[in-house]
């Protein structure tokens, strides 16, 4: 699928205009964020202001907007492409591209849940890398680094041995052994005609370092947008309903993959939920965990029940997708072996 056919012309033109620079390897890293708005674009400045961030949005052409984000004394300038369901934010900063990416990432965290970042679990990230093996003429995949996010320690960088071929099972083993999900993976795709060097992340922050921007868009961004949309849809309309005199619950079940969840991880999960949400642990040990959690950001409420083989999230009458995603990300960070049952 061609990138330009799937995107609006103004955005495609904007991106393709950068192609020569990125092919030449002289351009700064391009940061890209796929987000799901819960608010009209005209209101985003007000929403950001109530979250203590200054943002200005100005239409450039069609659905392409200039975006300026200011966090205290730091600023980042980006392009925002507004579609009905998604906004894609592209940051290309000459001065300090890494900082600009960080500023936008922090801004997104501040305006959550009005603007929800996309997310990907470890399996989905590895599936994206694996997808290149299924192409008619499979390109070479060279992983240079991957990052695990261990709770509560944070990210741990793992360097891939130079020249060693990519092997998914090696990363999966690290995930299991370290009890930490895959946070990001940096890799280079080398084909006969085009190649590109990029990073894909659990929180939907994608980076193109060098190479074909059009290939990056069509082989990474487009499929990942589809996955992100499916992920969002999974968490939509999960609130408890009262129909014909009966309570209808649309729970989310996560099953432990390979090995059962250890009791200490269940206890740690209880603590993590209480830290990130307003949570009451009503049972902990032997080894079942039962927590009632209130999302302090938007007032969504859910019961979380965890057993060694299964974790069940039972939403109340209000359970926003953003809130459920935040909870899901937290659960899979503390208990990476928990896999969503679709």
Partner 1 sequence: MSLPGPAPVPTLSQRIEEEKRNVRLYADAIALYSSVRLTFQNYGFAVHVEPTVRLVDQNQKTPDLLVETKNGFTILEHKGSLPMEKGNLSRKLRELAEYDQSMTCGNSNFRPDVILLCPSRLATDLMSRKAELKLPTVVSYSAPTEKNCILTLANGTLKDGYLRDLFDMKSNELKLSTDIIERYKYKFIRREPPVPYTTHFIWAFINLSKDAFQKKVTVSYDQLIERINEFCPPWCAEARQLSEGRLNKVMKFLQHLGWIKYDRQTREIVADTSRGTKAGRMEEYLCDKFVKFTEELTPQQQLGKKGAFRVPTLEELFSQYGK
Interacting residue ranges for partner 1, rule: CB under 8 A: 38, 47, 50-51, 113-114, 240, 242, 247, 249, 251, 270-271, 274-275, 278-283, 286, 288, 290, 292, 294-301, 303, 305, 307, 312, 314, 316-318
CB of 298 vs partner 1, minimal distance in Å: 4
Q: Rounded to the nearest 5 degrees, what angle is found at the Cα of 232, between the Cα atoms of 215 and 328?
A: 110
- Phi-psi category of residue 336: left, alpha or beta, with phi > 0 → left and psi -120 to 50 → alpha: alpha
Q: Which residue, 89 or 281, has its beta carbon nearer to partner 1?
A: 281
CB of 328 vs partner 1, minimal distance in Å: 18
* Bridge partner list, 140: 190
Q: Which residue, 210 or 312, has its beta carbon nearer to partner 1?
A: 312
Helix extents (H) in the chain: 3-6, 9-16, 19-24, 44-50, 97-111, 122-130, 168-178, 213-216, 222-234, 263-276, 321-334
Asked whether 222 and 6 are in contact (CB, 8 A), the reply is yes
Q: Which residue, 236 or 283, has its beta carbon nearer to partner 1?
A: 283
Q: Which residue, 185 or 330, has its beta carbon nearer to partner 1?
A: 330
Asked whether 231 and 119 are in contact (CB, 8 A), the reply is yes
CB of 247 vs partner 1, minimal distance in Å: 6
**CA distance between the termini of the chain:** 27
Q: Which residue, 142 or 322, has its beta carbon nearer to partner 1?
A: 322
Among 192, 186, 205, smallest CA distance to 97 is for: 205
CB of 75 vs partner 1, minimal distance in Å: 23
**Backbone dihedral angles phi then psi of residue 224, each to the nearest 5 degrees:** -70, -30
Q: Which residue, 93 or 322, has its beta carbon nearer to partner 1?
A: 322
Q: Which residue, 172 or 267, has its beta carbon nearer to partner 1?
A: 267
Asked whether 141 and 166 are in contact (CB, 8 A), the reply is yes
CB of 281 vs partner 1, minimal distance in Å: 6
Asked whether 210 and 196 are in contact (CB, 8 A), the reply is yes
CA atoms 142, 230, 181, 104: torsion sign:
positive
CB of 278 vs partner 1, minimal distance in Å: 6
CB of 171 vs partner 1, minimal distance in Å: 32
């Amino acid at each position: 699928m061609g990138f330009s056919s799937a995107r609006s012309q103004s955005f495609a033109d904007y991106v393709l205009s950068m192609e020569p620079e990125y092919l030449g390897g002289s351009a700064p890293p391009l940061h890209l964020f796929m987000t799901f708005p819960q608010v009209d674009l005209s209101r985003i400045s007000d929403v950001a202001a109530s979250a203590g961030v200054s943002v200005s949005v100005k239409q450039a052409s069609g659905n392409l907007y200039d975006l300026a984000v200011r966090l205290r004394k730091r600023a980042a300038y980006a392009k925002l492409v507004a579609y009905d369901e998604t906004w894609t934010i592209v940051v290309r900063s000459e001065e300090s591209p890494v900082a600009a990416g960080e500023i936008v990432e922090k801004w997104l965290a501040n305006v959550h849940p009005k603007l929800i970042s996309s997310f990907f679990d470890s399996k989905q990230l590895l599936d994206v890398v694996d997808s290149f093996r299924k192409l008619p003429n499979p390109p070479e995949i060279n992983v240079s680094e991957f990052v695990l996010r261990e709770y509560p320690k944070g990210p741990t960088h793992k360097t891939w041995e130079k020249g060693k071929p990519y092997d998914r099972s090696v990363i999966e083993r690290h995930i299991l052994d370290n009890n930490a999900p895959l946070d990001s993976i940096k890799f280079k795709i080398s084909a006969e005609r085009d190649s590109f060097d990029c990073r894909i992340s659990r929180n939907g922050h994608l980076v193109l370092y060098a190479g074909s921007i059009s290939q990056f868009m069509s082989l990474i961004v487009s499929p990942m947008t589809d996955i992100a949309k499916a992920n969002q849809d999974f968490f939509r309309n999960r609130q408890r309903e009262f129909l014909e005199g009966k309570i209808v619950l649309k729970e989310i079940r996560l099953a432990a993959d390979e090995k059962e969840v250890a009791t200490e991880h269940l206890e740690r999960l209880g603590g993590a939920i209480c830290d990130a949400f307003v949570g009451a642990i009503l049972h902990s040990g032997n080894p079942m965990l039962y927590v009632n959690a209130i999302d302090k950001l938007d007032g969504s409420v859910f019961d979380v029940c965890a057993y060694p083989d299964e974790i069940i999230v039972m939403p109340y009458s209000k359970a926003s997708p953003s809130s459920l995603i935040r909870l899901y990300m937290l659960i899979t960070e503390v208990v990476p072996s928990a896999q969503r049952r679709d």
